[in-house]
Amino acid sequence: MPEPLNPPRWKPAAGRLRGPCLGLPLGGPGRGAPLGNVTRLGTMWDTIGGDVGQDEQTKRVWDKEREAERKRVYRQALAAEQAAQQELEEQSIRDFWGFTSSETRSKAERDAAAKRMTKNRPSLTLDSYVQETLQGARLEGERRGESGELLQDRLKRAETYARWRWAGVQDGSVASL
């Protein structure tokens, strides 16, 4: 049975004679095997050389690259689908509450407007947020008449909470400070 024109990449090359390039019969064109008699296309497996172990290793690398590309394309498609679904949900909310006639901007235009509005807000850093939290905790402790170890415990808990909440806002698990 003749070999197929395009053998699969994963087919081991063991037992086949390899030509110098592109699957040409040994000897090449003009040496007893003219180019017109080539019956199959060459593959990477015909030119790699070495033992089957190298071929299998190369196959694994190609498979990993192909799988990574497939996942990347899938994730992009999923993100686009989710964005479209979110836009539909937002539009249905605007329709329900009667904002459709006044809201003609696209999502990108609304996002740009929101960014402009929040751009001028004074930025809050982790240290300033922790200091504000500690100040509030100190005032609350004094209002309750706490002092010494009890007040220090309150301040320690407040600082731990402020740092946890700041990290949560940064990673998106907490909505706001």
Q: Domain check: are 16 and 62 in the same one? A: no
Q: Domain check: are 38 and 67 in the same one? A: no
Which residue range(s) make up the domain with 139? Answer: 126-171
Structural domains of the chain, count: 3
Question: Angle formed by the axes of helices 52-97 and 107-119, to 10°?
Answer: 80
Supply the pTM of this predicted model: 0.34
Question: Angle formed by the axes of helices 126-143 and 149-171, to 10°?
Answer: 140
Place of tokens 């053998």: 7
Q: How far is CA 105 from CA 84, 120, 121, 137, 148, in A?
A: 15, 22, 23, 44, 57
How would you classify residue 98: left for phi > 0, otherwise alpha for psi between -120 and 50, otherwise beta?
Answer: left
Are 23 and 13 in contact, with CB atoms under 8 Å apart?
no
Would you give per-residue pLDDT tens digits along the chain (177 residues)?
A: 555 555 555 544 554 444 444 444 444 444 444 444 444 445 554 444 444 566 888 888 888 999 999 999 999 999 999 988 988 888 788 778 777 666 677 778 877 877 777 666 557 889 999 999 999 999 999 999 998 999 999 999 999 999 999 888 888 777 777
The backbone torsions φ and ψ at residue 83, rounded to the nearest 5 degrees and listed phi first, read: -65, -40
Q: Domain check: are 96 and 153 in the same one? A: no
Place of tokens 């390039």: 21
Q: Is residue 64 part of a domain?
A: yes
Residues written for the chain: 177
Task: Identify the pLDDT of residue 80.
Answer: 92
Q: Domain check: are 78 and 134 in the same one? A: no
